[in-house]
Chains A and B, each alone.
Chain A
Amino acid sequence: MADKCLICQIVEGEVPSKKIYEDDDIVAILDYNGANPGHSFVIPKQHTPILEQIPSPIIGSLFNVANKISSAIFDTLKVQGTNIFVANGIPAGQKVAHCMVNVIPRKENDGINLQWPPKQLSEEEMSTIELKIKEEIGSIGFSEAPKQKQEKPKQISEEVSGEDNYLLKQLKRIP
C-alpha cells in the first residue's frame, strides 16, 4: 500500500525512530522536531485514527505509559513541568490519522503556548451544554456488563479498517 500510515510504519520498524518504550500494545518515540527536547509520542500499535476508537483497556495503558514517560522526563531532564496533550480531530490540530498522545517537557518561557483566553457564557448557555453532555454520556452508556467489553476491541478494529469511514478519508487528505 502506497499510502500506508506513517505511524504504522514506525510502529512496525519500517521507518527508523528514536524508541524509548515498547510493549505489546504501545510504542513511545521521541519527536525529531519536538516542541522541546524530550517531546515524546505515545502511540497505540493498532491503527486507530481518533481517541474514541481506541478500546478502553488500551486507553488505560496508553495514558499510564504517558504518565511514566512524564515521570521519567521529570527524573532525567531537569524540567519544571510536563504536558500530556492529545489533538483529536483536524480542528484540534491533529496532523496524522493515527491517534497519539504527546508528552511535552516544559520549562518557563519555552515558547510553547497551550493557554487559552477564558470565555464567558451565559448561565442559560452553560445549563444547556451541561444537559446535552450529561444526556449524551447517559446514552453512550455506563454499564457493568463485562462480557460485552471483551467483544469491543474486535468490533472496533473492524470499523477502523472500514475505508468508507468519513474521518479516515478526511485525515488522509492531510498532506
Chain B
Amino acid sequence: MPGQQQMTEEQVQELQEKIKNMSPEELKEFQKKQCIFCHIIEGKVQSKKVYEDDKSLAILDINPANPGHVLLLPKEHYSIMPQLSEEEIAHLFMVAKTISNATLRSLGVQGTNIIVQNGVAAGQKAQHFMIHIIPRKENDGLNFELPQKEIPENQLEEIRKKLASNLGEVKEEEPKVQNIVKPKETDEPKKKESKEEKKPEKQASKKESKGKTKEQEPKQEKPKIKPDGKEEVGLDDIADLLGVK
C-alpha cells in the first residue's frame, strides 16, 4: 500500500519536523499524499465502487464487519466530521441513506448500522473521514450493544446546560418558553451578560442557516439524490425484509 512503507526512526523525526513547519495548505496536500483513501478516490488504488458522484465515493470495505459493509467517503480529504461543511454533511448522509436502503433491498439483510468514528478513542482507524454502513442480520456475530451507565441527575443537568448553551439554547427564542425562562432575568449579572451576548449570535446564525437552505435548493447537488422517489414503492419491501425473522 502506498504511504505505508517502513521508515527508520531518523526519517520519522525528520518527517515530524517537516510537518511542524508546514502551512495548512501544505499540510493538507501532504495528508492527501499519505492517505490511502485519497489514492482510492484518485483511482491510483483499486476498489469495489458501489456509488460515485462529484463529491462522494462509496466502496466496499475489504475487511468488512459483514458482507456488504460500505465505506462512504467525501472526495475531499477531511480527518473528522466537524471539518465538513453543512452542505457536505447533508449530501453525504442522503447518499448514506440511499446506500442503506440499497443494502436492505439487495442483500436480504434486516437492518443496518450507520457509524461515524471521530477520533482514535472512538475507534477511528483511517485518517480519511468516512461513514460506515454495515448490513445486519440476526445472529450475525456483531454486537454494538451500548452500555447503560448510571449518570447522577446533577451531572446530567450540568452537561445539559453546557451543551444547550453551546448549541445556542434555541428553546429560549421561542415565545412560549420565554415565559418560563423569565425568572432567569433576575439571575446573577454573569448569566445575564452571557445571555445578552449570545442572543445576537443566535439570530445571526438563524438567518444564516435560513439563507443557506434557500441557496441550496436551486443547486444541483440536492435534487441529484432522489432516493425517496422509489422508496414509497420499496418501503414495504424494506419492511418485509426487516420483518422476516
Q: Which residues of A contact B (CB under 8 A)?
A: 18-23, 28, 30, 32-40, 50-57, 59-64, 67-77, 79-94, 102, 104, 106-108, 110-121, 125-127, 129-130, 132-137, 139-146, 148-149, 152, 155-156, 159, 165-170
Q: A102 to chain B: which residues have CB within 8 Å?
A: 146
Residue of A nearest to B143 (CB): A113
Given the known interface contacts A60-B90, A68-B167, A89-B136, the answer about A137 and B226 at a Cβ–Cβ threshold of 8 Å is no
Report if B198 contacts A (CB, 8 A).
no
Q: B184 to chain A: which residues have CB within 8 Å?
A: none
Q: B74 to chain A: which residues have CB within 8 Å?
A: none
Q: B70 to chain A: which residues have CB within 8 Å?
A: 133
Given the known interface contacts A18-B157, A52-B238, A56-B227, the answer about A133 and B64 at a Cβ–Cβ threshold of 8 Å is no
| Given A21-B167, A90-B111, A142-B227, 20 other A-B residues pairs in contact with their CB atoms under 8 A | A22-B170, A37-B155, A40-B163, A51-B97, A63-B93, A68-B167, A70-B81, A80-B119, A81-B124, A82-B122, A88-B111, A93-B144, A93-B145, A112-B147, A118-B65, A129-B68, A130-B49, A133-B60, A140-B234, A159-B235
Residue of A nearest to B232 (CB): A155
Q: B101 to chain A: which residues have CB within 8 Å?
A: 52, 136, 140
Whether A159 contacts B232 by the Cβ 8 Å rule is yes
Q: Which of B214-234 touch A at CB < 8 Å? A: 217, 220, 222-232, 234
Report if B31 contacts A (CB, 8 A).
no
Give me 5 A-to-B residue pairs in the complex whose CB atoms sit less than 8 angstroms apart, sorted by A's number. A37-B159, A85-B115, A129-B48, A143-B223, A165-B235
Q: A75 to chain B: which residues have CB within 8 Å?
A: 166
Whether B50 contacts A30 by the Cβ 8 Å rule is no
Which of B118, B146, B232 has its CB near the most chain A CB atoms (within 10 A)?
Answer: B146
Q: B110 to chain A: which residues have CB within 8 Å?
A: 89-91
B7 to chain A, nearest CB (A): 25
Number of residues from B at the complex interface, CB < 8 A: 101
Whether A84 contacts B114 by the Cβ 8 Å rule is yes
Residue of A nearest to B164 (CB): A20
Whether A136 contacts B148 by the Cβ 8 Å rule is no
Whether B156 contacts A32 by the Cβ 8 Å rule is yes
Whether B89 contacts A63 by the Cβ 8 Å rule is yes
Given the known interface contacts A82-B118, A119-B67, the answer about A88 and B107 at a Cβ–Cβ threshold of 8 Å is no
Interface string of B199-217 (1 = CB under 8 A from A): 0000000000000000001
Q: A60 to chain B: which residues have CB within 8 Å?
A: 86, 89-91, 93-94, 222
Residue of B nearest to A85 (CB): B115
From A18, A77, A121, A132, give the contact of B64 (CB < 8 A): A121
Whether A76 contacts B242 by the Cβ 8 Å rule is no
Whether B114 contacts A88 by the Cβ 8 Å rule is yes
How far, in whole Å, are A55 and B93 apart by their CA atoms in the complex?
12
